Amino acid sequence: MPHPVITDLQQRYTCKKYDPSKKVSKEDLEVLLESLRLTASSINSQPWRFIVLESDEAKERMYRTFEQKYHFNQALIRDASHVILFAHNPHYSREDYERVIEQFVADGRISPEDREKAFRSFMFAQMNTDDNGDTSIWTKNQLYIALGNALHTLARMEIDSTALEGIDVPLVEKEFARELNGYKCEVALAIGYRHADDPNAKLPKSRLSGEGMVLRV
Ligand SMILES: Cc1cc2nc3c(=O)[nH]c(=O)nc-3n(C[C@H](O)[C@H](O)[C@H](O)COP(=O)(O)O)c2cc1C
Residues within a 6 A CB radius of ligand 1: 13-14, 73, 162-166, 187, 205
- CA–centroid distance, 165 to ligand 1, in Å, is 8
Mutate to test the pocket of ligand 1, among 164, 189, 200, 202 (most ligand atoms within 8 A of CB): 164
Nearest CA to ligand 1 atom 28: 163
- Per-residue pLDDT of 152-181, as tens digits, reads 999 999 999 999 999 999 999 999 999 999
Domains along the sequence of the chain with CATH: 4-92+129-202 (3.40.109.10)
- CA–centroid distance, 14 to ligand 1, in Å, is 6
User: What number of H helices and E strands is found in the chain?
Assistant: 10, 4
Query: Could you identify the atom of ligand 1 that is nearest to the CA of residue 73?
Result: 9
- Per-residue pLDDT of 76-100, as tens digits, reads 999 999 999 999 999 999 999 999 9
Per-residue pLDDT at 105 exceeds 90 = yes
- CA–centroid distance, 161 to ligand 1, in Å, is 10
Cα end-to-end span (Å), the chain: 28
Nearest CA to ligand 1 atom 30: 163
The CB density around residue 148, as the number of other CB atoms within 10 Å, is 11
Secondary structure letter of residue 205 according to DSSP: P
Residue 31, C-beta contacts closer than 8 angstroms, at least 6 positions apart: 153, 157
Query: Could you identify the atom of ligand 1 that is nearest to the CA of residue 144?
Result: 1
Residue 203, C-beta contacts closer than 8 angstroms, at least 6 positions apart: 13
Per-residue pLDDT at 210 exceeds 90 = no
Mean pLDDT of 91-116: 97
Please state, in angstroms and rounded to a whole number, the distance separating the CA atoms of residues 105 and 68: 48
Worst-scoring range by mean pLDDT, 14-23, 39-48, 204-213?
204-213
- CA–centroid distance, 111 to ligand 1, in Å, is 44
Determine if the pTM surpasses 0.95.
Answer: yes
Per-residue pLDDT at 65 exceeds 90 = yes
- Return mean pLDDT, the chain: 97
Nearest CA to ligand 1 atom 2: 163
Secondary structure letter of residue 200 according to DSSP: G
Nearest CA to ligand 1 atom 7: 164
